C-alpha cells in the first residue's frame, strides 16, 4: 500500500508498515531541550529513579531563551541543566561557549539528519522537517519519557500535500510561502497533520527558506512540516560532521492525502501577518497602502536569524540609515552565523545603519528580553508569532514579515516594499 514520507519514516523506526491514524511506539533519534523546558523534564527523570539516559548521544540541551542569564531566576534555571549535563557527561550540551538558537544550531552541528524522528520541548521543533525528518514539539514530561525509554508514543499524522508551482519573485521567501498557507487555512487548519511541501518551486528554495517554511508549520496547527531530500539538502549536509547516516524517504505517487493545497508562487508577493494572529495575512502592497508606522524592526529568531537574512538586510541597509524614530535589533541564529556575517561585512553595514546586534537568543521573540516592546509600540518582526503581548506590552502590535521587508521598513519608518528602494 502506498505511503507518504511521514508514514515511511515511522515505518522504518517501528519495523513494520504503519499508516495515518495508527497509534505507535517509535524510537527517537534526537531529543531536544532548552533552558525553559528541560528543568521540568529533568525533575521528572530524576523522580522516576532512573539513573542513566536511554540514549545520551541522542539527547541535546541548548540554552537559548534567556542566555546569558537576564536575571537571578533565569540563572538558576540554567544551572539545573548545566548540573544535569555535567552529571551525565552530556556530549550535546550547548551554552555560552558554543551558543545558538536550538533550531538553527542543531542542523549546523549535524545533529539532526534526514530520516530522523525528532522531538523537542519547543513548539518550533518542526523546523527540522526541512531536512526530510519527522520533527515535532512535545511537552516536558513527554521529553522525560523519551529520556528514560529512548522512545515515545505517536499517532501517525495524516498529511496535507502542499504543491507550490512557479519561481518566486524577488524578495519572496520561504517565510512568505508559509504565511500564505496560514492565511489560507488558518491557525488550526492543519491540526495534528503533517504539511508536506512539494512542487517545482522547491528547487528554488534555499535551506534557509525551507527551515523558515517548516518552522511555522505549527502556526497552522500542524504536527510537523516536511520537505523531501534533494540536491540542495545534500549540499547543506556535505560539510557537516553528521551524527549518523542520512536515510532518504519519498512519498509514493499514489500516497493518500487528506487534502491537497495548490499555490501559484510566481504570482505571490511578500505576505505581512497583521496583529494578532499569523493567519491575518495581507499582501505587502496592502500594507504599504495602509501606511503602518513602526517603532522597532527585529531580524532574527529560529525562523529568520540565518546568514541569508543578515545578508539581505545588509544589502538593503547598505549606505542608508534607519528612520530617526526607529530602532532595529538583529539576532543571529548562532555564533557561527554571527562570525560569518562579520567576516562578510554584514555586521558593519547593519551597525552603521543604526542597528544593534545581540547574541543568539530567543529572548526578543517571546517577549523575554533583548527587545521588549512598550505600550502601544509597533514592531515589524521576522519572528513566527504575533499574539497579543507576544513581544512585550499587551497594547503593542507585531507585524510578521520576511527580512527584506523588515529592513526596508526600518529606513522609511513605515512598512515598505524593498523593491521600491
Q: Identify whether 72 is preceded by a cis peptide bond (ω within 30 of 0).
A: no
Q: Just give the CATH number of 272-420.
A: 3.30.499.10
What pLDDT shows up at residue 173?
A: 98
Q: What whole-number percentage of the chain has pLDDT above 90?
A: 98
| Helix 38-47, helix 140-149: angle, nearest 10 | 50
What pLDDT shows up at residue 158?
A: 98
pLDDT category of residue 22 using cuts at 50, 70 and 90:
very high
What pLDDT shows up at residue 147?
A: 97
What pLDDT shows up at residue 151?
A: 97
H/E element, 109: helix 102-109
What pLDDT shows up at residue 294?
A: 98
User: Are 418 and 401 within 8 A, CB to CB?
Assistant: no
Structure-block grid coordinates of residue 41: 523534564
Q: In what order do the strands lie in the sheet with 296-299?
A: 281-283, 271-273, 397-400, 378-381, 296-299, 327-330, 355-357
User: Are 190 and 281 within 8 A, CB to CB?
Assistant: no
* Predicted confidence (pLDDT) per residue in 97-132, tens digit: 899 999 999 999 999 999 999 999 999 999 999 999
Integer-rounded Cα radius of gyration of the chain: 21
The mean of the pLDDT values for the chain is: 97
Q: Name, in order, each residue with C-beta under 8 angstroms of 43's C-beta and a sequence gap of 6 or more.
A: none
Dist CA 271 CA 74 (whole Å): 35
pLDDT category of residue 416 using cuts at 50, 70 and 90:
very high
pLDDT category of residue 47 using cuts at 50, 70 and 90:
very high
What pLDDT shows up at residue 312?
A: 98
What pLDDT shows up at residue 154?
A: 97
Region 330-359 average pLDDT: 97
Dist CA 363 CA 246 (whole Å): 32
What pLDDT shows up at residue 178?
A: 98
Taking every pair of Cα atoms in the chain, the longest distance, rounded to a whole number of angstroms, is 62
What pLDDT shows up at residue 392?
A: 95
Region 141-150 average pLDDT: 96
What pLDDT shows up at residue 50?
A: 94
Domains 157-243+255-268 and 272-420 are alike in CATH topology: yes
Fold of 157-243+255-268: Aconitase; domain 3 (3.30.499)
* Predicted confidence (pLDDT) per residue in 324-341, tens digit: 999 999 999 999 999 999
CATH 3.30.1490.20 fits 17-154, yes or no: no
* Predicted confidence (pLDDT) per residue in 381-412, tens digit: 999 999 999 999 999 999 999 999 999 999 99
Domain locations in the chain as residue ranges: 17-154, 157-243+255-268, 272-420
pLDDT category of residue 146 using cuts at 50, 70 and 90:
very high
pLDDT category of residue 53 using cuts at 50, 70 and 90:
very high
**Measuring CA to CA, which residue among 175, 29, 31, 33 is closest to residue 102?**
33
* Predicted confidence (pLDDT) per residue in 230-273, tens digit: 999 999 999 999 999 999 999 999 999 999 999 999 999 999 99
pLDDT category of residue 289 using cuts at 50, 70 and 90:
very high
Say which range, 104-118, 275-289, 362-376, has the weakest mean pLDDT. Answer: 362-376
User: Are 44 and 141 within 8 A, CB to CB?
Assistant: yes
pLDDT category of residue 286 using cuts at 50, 70 and 90:
very high
Amino acid at each position: 500500500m502506498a505511503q507518504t514520507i511521514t508514514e515511511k519514516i515511522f515505518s522504518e523506526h517501528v519495523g513494520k508498515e504503519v499508516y495515518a491514524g495508527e497509534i505507535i511506539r517509535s524510537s527517537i533519534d534526537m531529543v531536544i531541550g532548552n533552558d525553559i523546558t528541560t528543568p521540568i523534564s529533568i525533575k521528572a527523570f530524576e523522580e522516576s529513579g532512573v539513573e542513566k539516559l536511554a540514549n545520551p548521544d541522542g539527547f541535546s540541551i541548548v540554552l537559548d531563551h534567556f542566555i546569558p542569564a537576564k536575571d537571578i531566576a533565569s540563572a538558576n534555571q540554567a544551572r539545573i541543566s548545566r548540573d544535569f549535563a555535567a552529571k551525565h557527561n552530556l556530549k550535546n550540551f550547548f551554552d555560552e561557549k558554543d551558543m545558538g538558537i536550538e533550531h538553527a544550531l542543531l542542523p549546523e552541528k549535524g545533529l539532526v539528519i534526514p530520516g530522523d524522528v525528532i522531538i523537542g520541548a519547543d513548539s518550533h521543533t518542526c523546523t527540522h522537517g526541512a531536512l526530510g525528518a519527522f520533527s515535532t514539539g512535545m511537552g516536558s514530561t513527554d521529553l522525560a519519557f523519551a529520556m528514560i525509554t529512548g522512545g515515545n508514543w505517536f499517532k501517525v499524522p495524516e498529511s496535507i500535500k502542499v504543491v507550490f508551482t512557479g519561481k518566486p519573485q524577488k524578495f519572496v521567501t520561504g517565510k512568505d510561502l508559509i504565511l500564505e498557507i496560514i492565511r489560507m487555512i488558518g491557525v488550526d487548519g492543519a491540526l495534528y497533520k503533517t504539511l508536506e511541501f512539494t512542487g517545482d518551486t522547491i528547487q528554488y528554495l534555499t535551506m534557509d527558506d525551507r527551515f523558515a517554511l517548516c518552522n511555522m508549520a505549527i502556526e497552522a496547527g500542524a504536527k510537523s512540516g516536511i520537505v523531501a531530500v534533494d540536491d540542495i539538502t545534500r549540499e547543506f549536509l556535505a560539510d557537516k560532521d553528521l551524527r549518523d547516516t542520512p536515510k532518504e524517504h519519498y512519498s509514493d505517487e499514489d500516497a493518500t492525502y487528506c487534502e491537497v493545497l495548490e499555490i501559484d508562487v510566481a504570482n505571490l508577493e511578500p505576505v505581512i501577518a497583521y496583529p494578532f494572529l499569523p493567519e491575518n495575512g495581507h499582501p505587502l502592497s496592502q500594507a504599504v497602502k495602509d501606511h503602518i508606522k513602526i517603532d522597532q524592526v527585529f531580524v532574527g529568531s529560529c525562523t529568520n536569524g540565518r546568514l541569508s537574512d543578515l545578508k539581505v538586510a545588509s544589502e538593503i541597509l547598505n549606505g542608508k540609515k534607519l528612520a530617526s524614530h526607529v530602532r532595529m535589533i538583529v539576532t543571529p541564529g548562532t555564533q557561527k552565523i554571527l562570525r560569518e556575517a562579520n567576516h562578510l561585512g554584514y555586521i558593519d553595514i547593519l551597525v552603521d545603519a543604526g542597528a544593534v546586534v545581540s547574541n543568539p537568543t530567543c529572548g526578543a521573540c517571546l517577549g523575554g528580553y533583548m527587545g521588549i516592546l512598550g505600550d502601544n509600540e509597533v514592531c515589524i518582526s521576522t519572528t513566527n508569532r504575533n499574539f497579543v503581548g507576544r513581544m512585550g506590552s499587551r497594547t503593542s502590535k507585531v507585524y510578521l514579515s520576511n527580512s527584506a521587508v523588515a529592513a526596508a521598513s526600518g529606513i522609511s519608518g513605515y512598512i515598505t516594499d524593498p523593491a521600491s528602494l
